Amino acid sequence: MKNVRLYNGVEVPVLGIGTFMISPEDTEISVFSALKAGYRMIDTANAYMNEEAVGKALKKAIDEGIVRREDVFVSTKIWATLYNKESAVDDTLARLGLDYVDLLFIHQPSGDFISGYKLIEKAFKDGKTRSLGISNFHGEKLERLLAAAEIKPHVIQLEAHPYCTEKAIMDRLAEFGTKLMGWYPLGHGDAGLLNEPVFTRLADKYHKSAAQVILRWHTQMDFITIPGSKNPDHIRDNSDIFDFDLTDEEMAEIAKLDGTKKYYNADNATEEKYAEMHLPFEK
């Protein structure tokens, strides 16, 4: 498995298992399947309501001798309505059953996100996370966060796929060495993306699926990518992408798709929307 090195020297597997929109029951099964299949990175969040399931799957894999805790990279996200809660990080760790996580994000550019970032900066200094991240930030709110951040984010999580590489944001963050972790890596299951002629042709050439070609593109872009699945066969197939390389010419052809489509509009994710979304475990 290829790794991406963060600017503080922490190594992140370039491919992980995502758990967005997966129930706790299915999360436990899919994460355990992924760990058995060789995955060593798991992404979750307070708002996914499946942190406990991630923790159970990881504990089971450790107990069965499949992995060691130090070999698995775990990332999670603090939800916006918890940014001012002093115990939010400890509560998150308790749900995961862990003493620390490897990457801790603030999840949305809403609410008091500056206090939220200070919260995770403190967690970093206290050894409760090995790296820091921000999710879905852009524009003026990104600039406000960067101005306030004592420790610049090691990772930003954004929608990323061949239609959308967020080049402008990543160019802005280049001076800090911030890396991109992409969600919706397969275009949220968009058949149009999977059936793009460039991907069907390359799938035939390399004897892979279009999804595998796209995931290989992510890794060659040096993106950290987190496809999610409940299907053990798909989980295994998604990791079977390191036995071929796309050529520079093929990467350039795929680059022509950039900027043509996004599935999520951050400008529609208003502060009011997130202020109203309280999680069941909030006090």
For the stretch 255-269, pLDDT in tens is 999 999 998 875 555
- What integer pLDDT is reported at residue 264 of this predicted model? 80
- What integer pLDDT is reported at residue 268 of this predicted model? 57
- Chain CA centroid to CA 80, Å: 17
Spatial CA neighbour of 190 closest among 237, 245, 135, 260 = 260
Q: Extract the residue ranges of the chain whose pLDDT is less than 50.
A: none
Is 48 annotated in the active site?
A: yes
What distances in angstroms separate CA 135 from CA 88, 108, 116, 121, 179, one per listed residue? Answer: 17, 6, 12, 15, 12
Neighbours of 86 (CB within 10 A): 10
- What integer pLDDT is reported at residue 276 of this predicted model? 63
Establish if 22 belongs to a structural domain.
Answer: yes
Establish if 47 belongs to a structural domain.
Answer: yes
Q: What is the DSSP letter of 254?
A: H
Q: Which domain holds residue 128?
A: 3-275
* Torsion (CA) 27, 163, 132, 26 in degrees, nearest 10: 0
Establish if 142 belongs to a structural domain.
Answer: yes
The structure tokens listed for 46 are 């307070």
Which member of 7, 39, 48, 184 is catalytic?
48
pTM over 0.85: yes
CB-neighbour burial class of residue 236 (10 A; exposed 0-12, middle 13-18, buried 19+):
middle
Handedness of CA 261, 263, 265, 268 (dihedral sign): positive
For the stretch 100-143, pLDDT in tens is 999 999 999 999 999 999 999 999 999 999 999 999 999 999 99
What distances in angstroms separate CA 227 from CA 88, 186, 211, 224, one per listed residue? Answer: 26, 7, 10, 10
Establish if 20 belongs to a structural domain.
Answer: yes
Total domain count, the chain? 1
What is the Cβ-side half-sphere exposure of residue 9, based on CA atoms within 13 angstroms?
Answer: 0
- What integer pLDDT is reported at residue 223 of this predicted model? 97
Establish if 283 belongs to a structural domain.
Answer: no
Q: Rounded distance, CA 184 to CA 226, Å?
A: 8
Q: What is the CATH number of the domain that holds 14?
A: 3.20.20.100
Establish if 280 belongs to a structural domain.
Answer: no
Establish if 66 belongs to a structural domain.
Answer: yes
Establish if 140 belongs to a structural domain.
Answer: yes
